[in-house]
A and B are shown apart, each in its own frame.
Chain A
């Protein structure tokens, strides 16, 4: 997947509001008592931002061009250029998909919905409203996938309301209320049973249409949600409400009077509820301060390798953010309606994002003074292999294989990139890896066959790791190449060793 980023004009300053976000974030660092003593070097930065914004390592041409640009402005310019590339839209639609759907499944219209959002100037508030009220006239096709897939169950029951309720809380409010369904949360005092039940008062009316077609409807339910704690059995009830907020003032519907227009089998009309909950939920969530904070935290987590609030599902006073002021700055920008691209532009120009790679110097705020190793997703790894080896256009079968080996399975902890024997065996013995190593016109192997000595090592490292080798690395690689019986075998050994190295498989 090689493409050349077209830079428009010679110098592009960050958009004004992106610049404001960068400034606000940098200023907040001091308040958060985090000193980032130095920034990532240019090689590190160039590789990092490529992987983050366009989901692959840079080509050698891109790296060299970046290094040749004026030092004062090249980072901001590169960010802007990458944000304008078509690859950005694709990669960030996929990133949002992973955040929101956690590999529960795919849907072409949903993918289109996210791509449109990633390239638009629309706010996260609008995105969220469309996901939570996909029945609205303005909601694009595919926006219903979130609710329908989250409601669709996996085990014995066709639908799973507790899971949907939990996921709405997790993903939009940063509160995993799963354990507060039957009683107040045992270890998080601020998570109450009434919080879960108040959210459930919204979700309980939803009915699964066809998950595959991402359709979801409403079937009215009369009365309030009544519940009691399994511990004291005291009877309680609530109307629809977000955690910690007053229940909405909605007309209470009595049994038998749930419909404004009753369903009609003859006309196959599903009827019109007197009180539709999805629009109310969408309104309540998008007016809530926690939405922007949760989005900011989740986006930052993708780019920093850890949440400012970690885990992002447990935002509560007992688990405060490591960088509260910085998180506020990031959230405020989203709250003000800043679109994804602008926000990312502001973010990647911040000192926080540009912290140097290395092990954390401490915990809490200090952990953010260094950028950790972030294992690449299967998608990023596949694209990076294609880019680094220069074998030409994207190979769908290979992408599938990389996803299979390196992606995390649905409903499993998001921990792609962990070392495993399976991955070691893949690099060692999978025919797909072997096939990539053959010399082809213009590819890396062919280029390397024409090079010797330090130039060979330089090209190899720049292609795969986006940086020149250290002396020690250069010597090790050249020794291995020299020892091989044929030139091609020597280069194959070197390319494979770098592909299979830890550094190639992480962003740092």
Chain B
């Protein structure tokens, strides 16, 4: 019943409570302009066919590497458009993580793997939403765009609980039941909402109900979602932009994510499925990679042109990379040992490749980073100090990210201690 203790603030006035929740102040945060866009490539992006190519080596595969807009940094030829924006990107090539199964890896990477805690940590999008709160009044803190069904992704919330669940737009479409049913008039709807709000307000005062405050906020959110239908309607996407981002789900969803960020959604995660290329991997790459390359490059171009890269952190990641070894089905299997993630914006120093792997890509050369390092780094980029704040769970303090790891200074414009 963590919720009850955390939200109990009977002495505060109703209105102050509402305003505070909208601005994230109820959680003790200072207002921030930072935003987060996660692009999750479910199944595992191959580092060798993207950020860390090893052409001409035993495991390098059939493709070439190509120069990028940053001298000395080469990407796979599978990312020709993104390569033009390498000056906006930081690639981390020395990721070495723990899990080589999806069942463990998907959650562990997104929870930041704070091991041995006896609790399930929230996913990064949920955790960041917890610390940053909503950005614009009435807009959700965290949304997800994914193929298939939408709804509220409770499974991502870990110990923060279901109330922190991100609203997922299935196939980019609005949540179910967003519209008023035809048999009720706007006047009746308004009247009942207003009475409901009044009764909750009286209840909050009389019984010190903190739930009532949170409840009323959800009605306000629902109303905002309804009034901003344009953001959730894939058919309203501008045709030229769809052409630039790619008329496939990942292209449309990244474009839609840009719109949500602009509208004030604090955190957006775009999930793409189908990257688990155990078989026919190289034909698969030729089909899949362009569908990432186009929207990612368009996104970076737009965020940069609109000045949004100053405050939007973009992360492209998966549960692991793929094996150097090529199996008999011409596939690559799961490989947490040495792989890459890419990021841009919000104070990440761009135009670099941090860390390296051995010539054949099998080992990390020198220092390796686990996902905990990335969590410290990303939180710092978002202005949340992993040393100054912690979760309270059943009276126990819990760190935001794995204590055995630290922020990667080489990635951060401002050292992590400047985060609050």
A373 to B8, CA, bound (A): 11
Chain B residues positioned under 8 Å from A314 (CB to CB)? 118, 394
Chain B residues positioned under 8 Å from A311 (CB to CB)? 394
Q: Which residue of B is nearest A191, CB measured? A: B118
15 A-B contact pairs sorted by A residue (CB < 8 Å): A183-B116, A359-B208, A373-B209, A413-B159, A415-B161, A417-B211, A418-B161, A418-B163, A421-B218, A421-B225, A422-B167, A430-B177, A480-B191, A480-B194, A503-B203
Chain A residues positioned under 8 Å from B180 (CB to CB)? 428-429
Chain B residues positioned under 8 Å from A288 (CB to CB)? none
Chain A residues positioned under 8 Å from B193 (CB to CB)? 428
Q: Given A428-B189, A434-B184, A493-B192: A423 and B218 within 8 A (CB)?
A: yes
Q: Quick check: B167 and A421 within 8 Å, CB to CB?
A: yes
Chain A residues positioned under 8 Å from B215 (CB to CB)? 419, 424, 502
The residues in B between 111 and 165 inclusive whose CB is less than 8 angstroms from any CB of A are 116-118, 120, 140, 151-152, 154-155, 157-159, 161-163, 165
A455 at the interface (CB under 8 A from B): no
Chain B residues positioned under 8 Å from A156 (CB to CB)? 101-103
Q: How far is the CB of B126 from chain A (nearest CB, A)?
A: 12
Q: Given A179-B118, A305-B4: A424 and B219 within 8 A (CB)?
A: yes
A339 at the interface (CB under 8 A from B): no
Chain A residues positioned under 8 Å from B104 (CB to CB)? 155
A291 to B218, CA, bound (A): 40
Chain B residues positioned under 8 Å from A91 (CB to CB)? none
A194 at the interface (CB under 8 A from B): no
Q: Given A155-B101, A412-B155: A310 and B162 within 8 A (CB)?
A: no
Chain B residues in contact with chain A, CB under 8 A? 1-5, 8, 10, 101-104, 116-118, 120, 140, 151-152, 154-155, 157-159, 161-163, 165, 167, 175-181, 183-184, 187-189, 191-196, 198-200, 202-204, 206-212, 214-215, 217-219, 221-222, 225, 394-396
Chain A residues in contact with chain B, CB under 8 A? 154-156, 176, 178-179, 183, 185-188, 305-306, 310-311, 313-314, 319, 357-360, 372-375, 408-409, 411-413, 415, 417-426, 428-431, 434, 470, 472-473, 476-477, 480, 483-485, 489, 492-494, 496-498, 500-503, 506, 508
Q: Which residue of B is nearest A359, CB measured? A: B208
- Give the top 6 A-B pairs by smallest Cβ distance, nearest first: A155-B103, A418-B163, A359-B208, A497-B195, A502-B212, A419-B215
Q: Quick check: B162 and A413 within 8 Å, CB to CB?
A: yes
Q: Given A359-B10, A372-B1, A480-B191: A178 and B118 within 8 A (CB)?
A: yes
Chain A residues positioned under 8 Å from B103 (CB to CB)? 154-156
A359 to B213, CA, bound (A): 14
Chain B residues positioned under 8 Å from A480 (CB to CB)? 191-192, 194-195
Q: How far is the CB of A375 from chain B (nearest CB, A)?
A: 7
Q: Quick check: A421 and B140 within 8 Å, CB to CB?
A: yes
Q: How far is the CB of A185 from chain B (nearest CB, A)?
A: 8
A508 to B204, CA, bound (A): 13
A41 to B197, CA, bound (A): 25
Q: Quick check: B8 and A493 within 8 Å, CB to CB?
A: no
Which of B10, B165, B189 lies in contact with A420, CB distance below 8 A? B165
